[in-house]
Chains A and B, each alone.
Chain A
Amino acid sequence: MGAFFQQLIDLGGPLLLGAGTTVAITLASLLVAIVLGLLLALIRLLGITPLNWIIAAYVEVFRNTPVLAQVFIIYFSLPYLGLSIDPFPAAVIGLGLNGGAVLCEIFRAGLNAIHHGQREAALAVGMTPWMSLRYIMLPQTWRITLPPLGNYAIALLKDTAVVSAIAAPEIMFWARNLVTSTFQTTFVYILAALLYFCLSFPLARLVERFERRQRAWQ
């Protein structure tokens, strides 16, 4: 029994360290993805045809290629352009760009779900287009998109596992290292999975609450 706990501490320590990195990568990529996705969705609202094409192409490329390939390309290709990049920022940029494409569509759907009369009513009382966006459109978009946004965050948390492939020191990176040094394959991966579960499960419950609240609004 004592040996078991000793092992748990030896393996759990590095994995917990990795969990910190996993959370950090998730939050940083989420921030990049939200800012980028919202910006792209708003630019698309302007209805400038060439810009719309560029954004649509970006969205399709990033949604239809594996995020692992995207992260590899950023990590291994940027140095050729003379930009050496660490695994952590490479992971955040890769996941952030990928998430920007996903969230652009989510925000666009949210904005389009609001009747155009809402915006007209805002202009009619003398609001500028910016005010109508800020006080009328965005607060409603936020409400509509919170559940899909939460689901995206959960998916992202688990997707961060792919960046172990560029040696970003997150949970799966540490798990693989521990397996090589201890050969405790099953135990290590179960522990790793458990850590993801502990992070993801509360988030999933939170999203469920958003969804319930949204149903109550409708």
Chain B
Amino acid sequence: MNNVLLRVEDLHKRFGDLEVLTGVNMTLDRGHKTAIIGPSGCGKSTMLRCINFMETPSAGHVFLDGELFGEKKSGDKYVRMSEKELATQRAHVGMVFQGFYLWPHLSARDNVAIGPMKVRGMDKREANELADAMLEKVHMSHKVDEYPERLSGGQQQRVAIARALAQQPKLMLFDEPTSALDPELIGEVLNVIHELANEGRSMVLVTHEIRFAREVADRVIFLHDGIVVEEGPPDRVIDNPEHERLRGFLRQIVEH
């Protein structure tokens, strides 16, 4: 059986005149974790958002589990899927944002349960049980009835992770999940992500936490000026970088 879960092929993304991605390739095997690092504005978020078609790539293709993602082939042309078809595919990809984006009118449990209910048509009791189980995974069982405004940033992000887990996704995308957090709250979120990684989940993780990337990821991609400048296992990319730009980037991060 083919072990490739995600394949990103020659991805380009342009915003008007600004070329953000100019031909990015990556492959993620099932159960593997790739960390994307790179300076601010180099297109890390854009790349992640193109993977689940939150942004439509200007060129290139994404394949999830062997299937073309977000597009359909008609003849030899590729056309974007309808929003409905796209939603069905996105349900297989969990996404965790830098800004959490919990829905403030719903309790922690409802934030997690509403997706399974509305997207998969699960009944309320079953969805609540699933939500409680996912909240337990992120160590938030004591706050299931709390509303987002009454949770700390770290707690909100953990609920957001539970919300993505409830999709029972094939792939998890994390976009700088700890960048918006106070330093003392970063640990609890990284711990949760670490535990998920140990369960053998497949993930793509954009992060500035280099030490964390080295612990969790089996592959690191250094993105710069819209292309992959260097990639490989963390002990090579992080400990023995080849490119001067990557060395400069790592030095800068260590100094902070």
Contact = CB atoms under 8 A, between A and B. Distances in A.
Contacts of A122: 103
A118 B101 contact: yes
Interface in A118-160: 118, 120-129, 131, 135-136, 139-140, 143
A121 B54 contact: no
B54 A123 contact: yes
B125 interface: no
A125 B112 CA distance: 10
B102 to A, nearest CB: 8
Given A126-B119, A136-B103, A140-B105, A117 B97 contact: yes
B88 A126 contact: yes
Nearest to A134: B118
A117 B167 contact: no
Interface residues of A, number: 21
B103 A127 contact: no
B118 A117 contact: no
A117 B119 contact: no
A122 B94 CA distance: 11
Contact of B118 (A129, A131, A218): A131
A204 to B, nearest CB: 25
B145 to A, nearest CB: 16
A125 B105 contact: no
Given A120-B54, A135-B114, A127 B119 contact: yes
B41 to A, nearest CB: 19
Contact of A126 (B54, B105, B149, B167): B167
A215 interface: no
Contacts of A123: 54, 87, 90
B104 interface: yes
Contact of A127 (B87, B102, B105, B149): B87
Contact of A128 (B83, B95, B120): B83
Contact of A143 (B54, B99, B102, B105): B105
B87 A121 contact: no
A139 to B, nearest CB: 5
B103 A126 contact: no
A95 B73 CA distance: 51
A124 B95 contact: yes
A80 interface: no
B161 interface: no
B163 interface: yes
A117 B167 CA distance: 18
A139 B106 CA distance: 10
Given A140-B104, A143-B105, A127 B97 contact: no
Interface of B: 52, 54, 83-84, 87-88, 90-95, 97, 99, 101-105, 114-115, 118-120, 149, 160, 163-164, 166-167
28 contacts: A117-B99, A118-B101, A120-B101, A121-B101, A121-B163, A122-B103, A123-B90, A124-B93, A124-B94, A124-B97, A124-B164, A125-B90, A125-B119, A125-B163, A126-B88, A126-B90, A126-B91, A126-B119, A126-B120, A127-B118, A127-B119, A128-B83, A131-B118, A136-B103, A140-B103, A140-B104, A143-B105, A218-B149
Given A115-B101, A121-B102, A128-B84, 11 more contacts: A117-B99, A118-B103, A121-B163, A123-B54, A124-B90, A124-B94, A125-B164, A126-B167, A135-B118, A140-B105, A143-B105
